[in-house]
Structure 1
Amino acid sequence: MRMPQEARFANPPDGRARARLARLSAMAVRHRRWVLVAMLALLHAVVVQGAASTVGRVLLIGHLGLFLLWQPLIHAETRLGWTGLAALVAGCAAVAVWAAAPVLLAWIILLAGILGGRVFFSDHLPTRLFYLLALGDLVTELLVLVTPEILPQPVDLGALRPVAHYALPTLLVAMILLPRGEETGERFDLIDLMYSAFVVLLLAVLVLGSLALMLLAGHGYFESLLLALATVAAVLLVLGWVWNPRLNFAGLGLLFSRHVLSAGVPFEDWLEGLTEAARREPDAQRFASAALAQFMALPGIRGGRWSAPGASGEFGARDGLRQVFRHGDIELELASRRALSPAFVWHVDLMVQILNEFHLAKRWGGQLEQMAYLRAVYETGARLTHDIKNLLQSLNALCFAAAREDATATPEFRQLLAHQLPEISRRLQETLARLQRPEPDLVAKQDLGEWWAGFRERYAGQGVAFVAALPLPASRIPGDLFSGVADNLIRNALDKRHAGGPAAVSVTLEHAGGIALSVADSGEPLPAALARTLFEGAVPSATGLGIGLYQSSRRARSLGWELTLAENRPGRVCFRLAPNPDLGRPEKEAAAT
């Protein structure tokens, strides 16, 4: 039966091969433990057969293939180009031609270094034991089976060789029996290069030290190996003792880490100078100029050029090798006597990044300061606008009352004018005084009874009920605050009346447990969302700017009073102004009798 042409070409042979390779690489990634065990088993077979033999070379090529699948340096899914493929073929050919005991010795040391860099990255105890057993297998093969093969004089291992041949595979069996831990691909790729280099150097010292003791002292191989092991163990014991902090000594570990991290760059001194410049210079441009000039103190730097938004400059000489660093709006070009090392470049790049963050903070601080200034201007203007609006409403009420009078004014109207016009004039003068001298602490005190009488007369005939228990105490209150808050609340309640709502508006003055002013109306309650944010900022308003209550609340809090929404239910919406000693400056005079 012939397949259709479309089906024959839908999955070409190269596509199937790629799919098989992808599945094979994915399987190798999932089963790295088994790949490592198989790789070590082939290496053991190479050591037993001899690397120079034909069988040993074939097994060694298979071992290298498993290593390519297991190695944590390059992903197994990586596709090789022609150059990489040629290098791989050349390496396999070189192994097949020059495979010998010295090459195998160097390879085992490098492989042990890779495993040594993996041991300390796992918190799972069986996984750590797995890598320790693998490392022990390599070290035993290196010192017992491979190193004696490169000695100029043959070493009689006696029964130790067959014991090692058959005992080392038991380590591989123990590795297989260990429970498997969670080891993701990203976790497997982590290798501590310092530990890897340390293991490589340690094994090299053991091998070379054993050979040196054999040649200089005339000992046998195993005697020299034991002496080398004892010497290295003693040195490691002393280093381990002085590595960690003890008594008043910081420890070699701290000194070594500081040297590695600083790479010869006075990073701490530079950072201290940077913070000092940030504290001393509030302007972003002057701060950038002072901070960037500190790069001249770095070793090997002859000078440089820098640029930032709104500023640029130079320091030192410009001749030499140049290196450019950019982060955000900061650009720095350094001229050095010689090529900068990668560690030095990394440190300077980190410095420029930190400097850019400081510079951004300075710029944002300047913008916030400008915004705060504009906000203060806007709030002052809004508060004065609100006060003037209340004055105009009072004048409008007087004009309305005057329009209802006949040609001859009644005594009640003349009395109203006699009381209201001086009060309006006084409030207008206070508003102009705040406009000329906007001090936040400017407070005009007024007698409570006098203020209450004048305020009642101001709203006489407008359907506002005033309730107070007589006699009133002889207290002094911030009359401007009380008038502004009460005017705003009453006007809001009267707006509900004009919109067709209930007309009941009442103002209550309490003084039994402390002076408090309440303004209530019988209108609809405020929406819950609006009630939560009523005193936190501007709110939507159909009759004004929507900032009257916000300004009144801020003004009250600055003087030690608090404006709250005491009740918010159908038929009863009540605002209350009362002293709060925890806010601002409590008005003790207003609470005194």
Structure 2
Amino acid sequence: MSGKISMMVQRLGSERPHWLLAGMLLSLHMALAWGVVAWWSSAALLVHLGLFLLWQPMWRGERKLSLNHVSLVLLGGSALLLFWYSWWVATLWLGILVGLIGGDVVGMTERRQRIGHLLALLYLLSILLLWVVPHLFGESQVNAGMLLMVRYGLVVVPLLVAASGTRQKAKTVYAVDFFYSLMLFLLVVVLVLGSFAVRVISQSNYPMALAQTLMGIAGVLFVLSWLWNPHGGFAGVGQLMSRYLLSVGLPFERWLRNLAALAEQERNAASFLRLALEDIAALPWVAGGRWQAPGGSGEFGATSKHLVEFTFHQVHLVLYTRWALSPALILHVKLLTQLLGHFYEAKQREQEQKYNAYTQAIYETGARLTHDVKNLLQSMKTLCAAVESSDAGQAQALQTLMQRQLPQIVQRLQLTLDKLKSPNVNAAESIERISARSWWEALQERYEGEALEFAAYGMAGDAHVHLPGELFDSVADNLLQNALEKRKVERELAIRVGFSCEGGGRLTVCDDGSALDDDLASHVLTLPVKSDNGLGVGLYQVGRLASQAGYRLALTSNQAGRVCFELIGST
């Protein structure tokens, strides 16, 4: 039976909180309107306290209270019941209610709920100023009109509170603004004590003293509102208050500065997380903690009975605190841990990028060396084909060809092996420069018998022109091998090779075959592409090598009957 009653009360509190507020005000009215010495006053006050505990905005209904909280509730309720016969206690209790209800209004967004709480504030201030304070001043003689209005007229206000709200599916929890609650409570105290002081000093009646006090408070509030944000060059009290409130977070600011310094110094993500969490133990309210991440786990400080848990970016953090944290501080800590999580994720990305860059360097080095070996193998095949197709009468010419080509092949193979031994050396810086005429003659000899058309122009003064031989060999071999592969499909394909000493060396390879696809043409020199007879990175690699050496490889023409690639110095 008691369980059903408890469930009904909880449902009432969650679905009809305005009914609890109205019942609390009505029971308070019964305890005050007929005097605190009435025989039913204590019983009405007991009902009022019970409804207050069900309505109060500090603790949610399903929360289990600790022994300290229960002791505080029992002591406070007992003291209120024992000393209720003093109007000063009633005044203090009304001030507390004004602060709680006023602080609860700040977080509300629904109009009808705000109206209900404002009506409750109207009732509390009315019964305080019209009934409690006059009895506090010893004015027991109240005229009949005022007596009727207090006892029977003010009852309408709690009824309006009961009718102002709507049924809710779940109780909306609002965080009571402590600052607003404290300010409202202090305003009530100033109003009551100010009226008492003015009445004693001026020897005037209570209504006049109350009016003078209200005028004084209004004047002070007006001056403070102007000083808060003035327009005469003065920064204002608001600026000073903001600086003071910001200074409260100095431990957080120090931790953030240390976090930024760690982010600059520590490169390893796991070490950064460990050091940052050990540094958070310097905060005054942190006793210790433990954390777990994909890269490891750890502990710092000591444990306590108060703890909060956070999870961010695959990191689980448990902080042990010296005391229970307020909701505002928990939100603050959550924001800071999210910031730590972003730093940790950035460190992980940095490590991953380093690994990817290392892997990319290995891949590019391997691909470049593979193409070099492939081109050398093609040169060897050409020599072998020349040997197989020669007869006894061509022995002298074949020997001369071998004497010229084999040393070049050995030299290029040695360069390839040197790259393999020192992959971190800049390829452009390690290229040896050779005579332009020597390179051009060697290229013609290497592709003799491939039915290529060679043409040189602008060779005046070529004895003084030196070019990066390995670069021009790589570009020429890649372009010519691609053209020869294309000739296997287009049998009558004509391939023309042009060279000039202009701009430090200019090489052109053209054919009269079909044009490249638009998509292939736009990416063949800038990205690896799909290839049916290779790795698809040859032109991409030599294009990067040309750029590093101060040259530029470009597709200058892509039309049916004229497809041309050109290598020229960028200067």
TM-score norm. by structure 1 comes to: 0.64
Stretch of structure 1 that moved more, 201-210 or 372-381 = 201-210
1:451 paired with 2:452, answer: no
Q: Deviations over 1:444-494 (max 9, x none)?
A: 22333433333233223323334x562335443333223212322222232
Question: Are 2:139 and 1:153 equivalent residues in the alignment?
Answer: yes
CA contact (8 A) 1:330 1:352 kept: no
Question: What amino acid maps onto 2:240 in structure 1?
Answer: L
Q: Which amino acid aligns with 2:277?
A: L
Residues of 1 paired with 2:191 and 2:211: CA distance? 10
Deviates more, 1:107-116 or 1:269-278: 107-116
Q: Which string of whole-angstrom CA distances, capped at 9 and with x for unpartnered residues, describes residues 209-264 of structure 1?
A: 434544676443333323433443455456546656975788333234325656xx
Q: How far off is 1:342 after superposition?
A: 0.4
1:438 aligns with 2:429: no
Q: 2:44: which partner in 1?
A: none
The equivalent of 1:362 in structure 2 is: 347
Match of 1:254 in 2: 242
> TM-score normalised to the size of structure 2?
0.66
Out of 355, 362, 365, the residue aligned to residue 377 of structure 1 is: 362
The answer as to 2:537 corresponding to 1:547 is yes
Corresponding residue for residue 484 of structure 1: 474
Task: Give 1:506's aligned amino acid.
Answer: I
2:304 maps to a residue whose letter is L
Query: 515, 526, 539: which is aligned to 2:517?
Result: 526
1:413-457: CA deviations, max 9, x gaps? Answer: 445434433332332222223243733442322333433333233
Q: Mean alpha-carbon deviation: is it higher for 475-484 or for 343-352?
A: 343-352
Inter-partner Cα distance in structure 2 for 1:373 and 1:359:
21
1:490–1:519 contact (8 Å) kept in structure 2: no
Structure with larger RCO (C-alpha < 8 A, sep 6+):
2
Find the counterpart in structure 2 of residue 181 from structure 1.
none
Q: Give the letter aligned to residue 139 of structure 2.
A: Q
CA shift digits 1:523-550 (9 cap, x unpaired): 353252x444434543222212222222
- 1:563 is aligned with what amino acid? L
Identify if the C-alpha distance between structure 1 residues 325 and 195 changes in structure 2 by more than 3 Å, giving closer, same or farther: closer
- Structure 1 gaps of 5+ residues are 1-24, 54-66, 79-98, 170-184, 580-585, 589-593
Amino acid at match of 1:210: S
Between 1:544-553 and 1:131-140, the stretch displaced more is 131-140
Aligned ranges for residues 133-172 of structure 1 at < 5 Å? 143=129, 152-154=138-140
| 1:183-582 equivalences in 2 (<5 Å) | 194-195=179-180, 197-211=182-196, 213-214=198-199, 218-233=203-218, 235-237=220-222, 239-240=224-225, 243=228, 251-258=239-246, 265=251, 267-299=252-284, 309-310=295-296, 312=298, 321=304, 327=310, 328-329=314-315, 331=317, 334=320, 339-343=322-326, 346=330, 351-409=336-394, 413-434=398-419, 435-436=421-422, 438-442=425-429, 443-466=431-454, 468=455, 470-472=457-459, 474=462, 475-498=465-488, 500-501=489-490, 503-507=492-496, 509=498, 514=503, 515=506, 517-520=508-511, 522-526=513-517, 528=519, 530-569=520-559, 571-572=560-561, 574=563, 576-578=565-567
Secondary structure (helix, strand or coil) at the match of 2:394 reads coil
Going from structure 1 to structure 2, the CA distance change for 1:200 and 1:301 (only over 3 Å counts) comes to: closer
The question of whether the paired residues in 2 share the 8 Å contact of 1:155 and 1:221 is answered with no
Contact 1:559 1:587 in 2 (8 A): no
* Corresponding pairs, count: 547
5+ unaligned residues in a row in structure 2: which ranges?
1-12, 39-51, 63-83, 157-169
CA change 1:254–1:492 in 2 (3 A) is: same
**What is the aligned-residue identity percentage?**
32
**Which secondary structure does the structure 1 equivalent of 2:490 belong to?**
coil
Alpha carbons 1:496, 1:523 under 8 Å: kept: no
Helix, strand or coil at the partner of 1:563? strand
Determine the C-alpha separation between the residues in 1 that align with 2:57 and 2:196: 32
Measured in 2, the distance between the counterparts of 1:103 and 1:480 equals 99
Contact 1:506 1:521 in 2 (8 A): yes
Cα displacement (A) at 1:397: 1.6
Report if aligned partners of 2:494, 2:512 keep a CA contact under 8 Å in 1: yes
1:444, 1:480 within 8 Å by CA — same for their partners in 2?
yes
Measured in 2, the distance between the counterparts of 1:489 and 1:394 equals: 14
Distance 2:305 2:218 in 1: 47
Aligned partner letter, 1:463: A
Equivalent-residue separation in structure 2 for 1:155 and 1:513 (angstroms): 117
Distance of 1:160 and 1:217 partners within structure 2: 24
Distance in 2 of aligned mates of 1:320 and 1:313: 10
Aligned twin of 2:45: none
